[in-house]
Chain A
Amino acid sequence: MASTEPAVVCSGLVRRYGERRALDGIDLTLGQGQTLVVFGPNGAGKTTLLRVLATLLRPSEGDASLLGSDLRKEGWKVRSKVGFLGHQSLCYGDLTARENLRYHARLHGVSDPAARIEALLEQARLSDRGDERVFGYSRGMLQRLAICRAVLHEPELLLLDEPRSNLDPAAIEQVEPLIGAAEGRTRVIASHDPAGGLAEADLVLGLRSGAAILLEPAAQVTTDQIGELYR
């Protein structure tokens, strides 16, 4: 049963680190099944926005709701519906890929974790090396494993921070079914790739110094406009 409720609603969202406003009054609404791509130079607030939406950081001011749940009051409800892929893999180097995924599956209460883990490792072409400790993995392999971890519990909303970084073209194709646009899957993606990001966006958010200076449907945005954000 499809809900018409927006997947993400932010209203005057502020996040401060001391005196500095890393997010400065963000207002946005993202429909279910849509993709929001966030652009902006380093330090613009992209990662902070994703971490706030993932409940890893509390908003300093303003409100946000994800899939109908208030982020401040019902963070625990949101967590089971959100998959977060950040700059770190969140996997332990001294555990194998399978052990890492099993650990996260238990924390998320995944039913039939063994089958889910094998399917994901197969999809990410990591099955053969799934019993090796992760500290020996290349950056690309680690990124593929991190993607498996992020989608392990089949979240409705994906929060992806530069998800294709460190991946070669073949690997990007392999993980596409896991993090690409799929029916009913809502995504918020932080990107530095204007053309690639625009191609998969329904909505574009441009950040600079924490403020939203561009918020338009992707069809109305050009790569030049995005390029302007970085100048």
Chain B
Amino acid sequence: MSAARPPSTLSAARAVLYKELTLERRAPQTLTAMALFCASAFVIFHFALGRDAIEGALASGVLWVTLTLAALLGIGRSFVADREEGGLDGFLLAPAPRTALLIAKATTLFIFLLIVGVLAALLFSVLLLGPTPSASQWASIALLIVLADLGIALVGTLIAGIAIQTRARDLITSILALPLLIPLLIAVTKASEPLLSVGGGTLAWRWLALLGLYDLIFGLLAYALFDYLVED
């Protein structure tokens, strides 16, 4: 009777990703909120710190704390449409592998974080950053943004998968995500510090390796756990 064949993980993930990006394009809420948050935070820091320019550890801390808090907004929004409009049930009713949802949601969040990360870094360099990074330092910062955003996207999707099954969703997101992101934050702020210092410095590979390891561990954890989290 049925003319359907269960889709592959990749095919289902592409369908969900396309849907996610279409929804954000039609009603841009998540990206707008994240970008506005970053801009507001930089302006507040500018006045609160009472300095025209910052550098080194302080600059690194301000940049990454702002990006992490903006990421929480994205994580909190990542299943909102699915929850409110029954889209999660729609996915769970299909014979599609549950991993497809993880891949698509994490990729969506990763794309949003990359866009916001690039915009925020540029804005940060204009509003707050004292030293002007060289081209190679900008390349290193871009690499850090990619690795950190990958980790945040994986942890965020995992947490959002847990949160959607609870009533205190918004609380759960912050309570669980921030402690899990501490190792990532330490690594990325330490790695960024010399790149944002006067006189400049180079990227410390051990922090880069730590970020890569973090991404790998949470990628495997998310892959192993996600099925159980989204199903009843």
Contact = CB atoms under 8 A, between A and B. Distances in A.
A106 B11 contact: yes
A99 to B, nearest CB: 7
A106 B7 contact: yes
A86 B7 contact: no
Nearest to B8: A109
Given A55-B93, A58-B232, A111-B3, A106 B86 contact: no
Interface in A55-87: 55-58, 76-77, 79-82, 84, 86
A153 B4 CA distance: 6
Most buried by A among B27, B91, B93, B94: B93
Contacts, number: 110
Interface in A121-160: 133, 149, 153-156
A107 B91 contact: yes
Contacts of A82: 93
A197 to B, nearest CB: 24
Interface in B2-30: 2-7, 11-12, 14-16, 18-19, 22-23, 26-27
Contacts of B11: 106, 109
B19 A89 contact: no
A108 B4 contact: yes
A219 B85 CA distance: 39
Contact of A88 (B1, B6, B16, B86): B86
A91 interface: yes
Given A109-B4, A110-B3, A90 B94 contact: no
A140 B6 CA distance: 30
Sort chain B's interface into a size bin.
20 to 34
Contact of B4 (A77, A80, A103): A80
Contacts of B15: 103, 106-107
B87 interface: yes
A112 to B, nearest CB: 7
Interface of B: 1-7, 11-12, 14-16, 18-19, 22-23, 26-27, 81, 85-87, 89-96, 231-232
Given A77-B95, A104-B94, A185-B1, 15 more contacts: A56-B92, A58-B232, A79-B93, A86-B86, A91-B85, A93-B85, A103-B18, A103-B19, A106-B11, A106-B15, A108-B6, A109-B96, A153-B2, A154-B3, A156-B1
